[in-house]
Amino acid sequence: MEYRSGYGFPAEILADRPRMERLFDNKWFFVGMRGDIPNRRDYLKFSLFDEEYFLVHGQDGEIHGYVNRCAHQSARLLNEDVGRCAARIICPNHQWAFDANNGALIHAPHMCENFAKSEDGQTHRLDQIAIREIGTMLFACLGENPNHNEIDRMADLIAPYTAPFASAAHGYKRAYHHREIIDANWLLVMINNRECCHCAQNHKRLLALFDPSSFNGTTTPEYQALIEAAKTRWDAQGLAWKEMPFDPDENFRIARYPLAPGFQSITFDGRLASQKLIGPFENGKPDSSTLSFWLNPNCWVHFTSDHIATNWVLPLSENRCELYTSWIVHADAEEHEDYDPDHMKEVWLVTNEEDVGLCKSMSEGASSRYYKPGPFSDSEQFCTQFCDWYMRATEL
């Protein structure tokens, strides 16, 4: 069946793994924040299809990305989800050691003495992937010829929003993170994320924080009043707020939105998640708003006055994916003093879990022999954008 714009994907597209793989070979995707790995030797793993990769904060201060596989006998180099490694990347099998800055073999015990430095030895290095950092946000591309023009254009568009936060880039840390394997088709998880028509029934608690017009491209007099007041306030503070919508040539939407009156952060009770404010708010007062990023192909990220909540999803197979959520706070914020786990994590743990149920359900239904794609409504315009973009991005 042919793809038809304005409708969900045909089953053939949903199950087309080579097409999904093509996407991640050609496009930059979000993999985390510098705040996830703020110190030298910090690392963070992620999986994509059957591969494991890791980001590591090099001795040179830069973030590098590698395949998590030793060049000797293919053992996993790093076994924990997140952690801190040695000054060199050392394989736990035979202690081959690699340079975290470039993947070169430094030492190969049991091999002849000069093997590591030899021409042969230098062919055994870590497989490296391209990483780019834009205002503390980290992007990866797997292909051998990553499109640098594209990431440069993204940087031009993103930077004005993240700059006030990035100036304090080395002043963040990860407070918490959460990983979940979802038995659902990755495309359907992204589609679910791109619309809020399911929110009224499924995200009753989340809706207390936001006006649906923030997501649906619709508006109401109440929302109009709320956002006009907010814009005046944001202009006065010099905060970027202009909505940058998804459009045919761009793969992202950025917008600053007001939170519901009385809410200072993305928490169910509206209170700050962390007492130490960040970025442009560090020396001021919290603002009742969020700077939100929905980036194709795989993330949604919220910068509030006190923390950054990141969510990315990556496919593991046609019917499985991994969701990673992290909460980034000021480097000086202290657990239990300035923030508490249950309070900080609640909104995304609850909301994502509600979505996981729907996504599994849609995936099961889509594998039915009776399946046929259904139409998106006008309020689901960003689903149509995502599907159209995906088809273009993965054309042969």
149 touches a second copy (CB under 8 A) = no
Cα dihedral sign for 360, 363, 367, 371? positive
270-295 burial, b for 16+ CB within 10 Å, e for fewer? bebbbebbbbbbbeeebbbbbbbbbb
Cα dihedral sign for 134, 392, 19, 193? positive
102 touches a second copy (CB under 8 A) = no
In the complex, what is the shortest distance from the CB of residue 394 to a second copy, in angstroms, rounded to a whole number?
A: 18
Q: Tell me the window of 170-178, 224-232, 341-349, 378-386 that interacts with a second copy (CB under 8 A).
A: 378-386
Q: Tell me the window of 165-173, 241-249, 343-351, 376-384 that interacts with a second copy (CB under 8 A).
A: 376-384
Site for a second copy (CB under 8 A): which residue of 62, 80, 81, 127? 127
25 touches a second copy (CB under 8 A) = no
368 touches a second copy (CB under 8 A) = yes
- Residue 27 or 124: the one with the smaller Cβ distance to a second copy is 124
In the complex, what is the shortest distance from the CB of residue 365 to a second copy, in angstroms, rounded to a whole number?
A: 3
Q: How many CB atoms lie within 10 A of CB 113?
A: 8
Q: Tell me the window of 151-159, 200-208, 235-243, 312-320 that interacts with a second copy (CB under 8 A).
A: 200-208
76 touches a second copy (CB under 8 A) = yes
388 touches a second copy (CB under 8 A) = no
Site for a second copy (CB under 8 A): which residue of 86, 145, 248, 369? 369
- Residue 319 or 326: the one with the smaller Cβ distance to a second copy is 319
In the complex, what is the shortest distance from the CB of residue 93 to a second copy, in angstroms, rounded to a whole number?
A: 5
Site for a second copy (CB under 8 A): which residue of 16, 133, 364, 388? 364
Q: Tell me the window of 35-43, 50-58, 168-176, 335-343 that interacts with a second copy (CB under 8 A).
A: 50-58
379 touches a second copy (CB under 8 A) = yes
Site for a second copy (CB under 8 A): which residue of 15, 155, 169, 197? 197
- Residue 184 or 272: the one with the smaller Cβ distance to a second copy is 184
In the complex, what is the shortest distance from the CB of residue 81 to a second copy, in angstroms, rounded to a whole number?
A: 15
Q: Tell me the window of 37-45, 68-76, 173-181, 293-301 that interacts with a second copy (CB under 8 A).
A: 68-76
Q: For residue 49, is it left (φ>0), alpha (ψ between -120 and 50) or beta?
A: left
> What's the 3-state SS for the chain?
CCCCCCECCCHHHHCCHHHHHHHHHHCCEEEEEHHHCCCCCEEEEEEECCEEEEEEECCCCCEEEEECCCCCCCCCCCCCCEEECCCCEECCCCCCEECCCCCCEEECCCCCCCCCCCCCHHHCCCCEEEEEEECCEEEEECCCCCCHHHHHHHHHHHHHHHHHHHCCHHHEEEEEEEEEEECCCHHHHHHHHCCCCCHHHHCCCHHHCCCCHHHHCCCCHHHHHHHHHHHHHHHHHCCCCCCECCECCECEEEEEEECCCCCCCCCCCCCCCCCCCCHHHCCCCCCCEEEEEEECCCEEEEECCCCEEEEEEEEEECCEEEEEEEEEEECCCCECCCECHHHHHHHHHHHHHHHHHHHHHHHHHHCCCCCCCCECCHHHHHHHHHHHHHHHHCCC
391 touches a second copy (CB under 8 A) = no
Site for a second copy (CB under 8 A): which residue of 110, 232, 236, 395? 110
179 touches a second copy (CB under 8 A) = no
- Residue 287 or 380: the one with the smaller Cβ distance to a second copy is 380
Nearby residues of 14 by Cβ (< 8 Å), 6 or more positions away: 185, 187, 188, 318, 366
In the complex, what is the shortest distance from the CB of residue 318 to a second copy, in angstroms, rounded to a whole number?
A: 13
- Residue 92 or 160: the one with the smaller Cβ distance to a second copy is 92
Site for a second copy (CB under 8 A): which residue of 1, 59, 87, 109? 109
By the criterion CB under 8 A, which residues form the site for a second copy? 8, 50-52, 67-76, 79, 92-95, 108-112, 120, 124, 127, 188, 191, 197-198, 200-202, 358, 361-362, 364-372, 374-375, 377-380
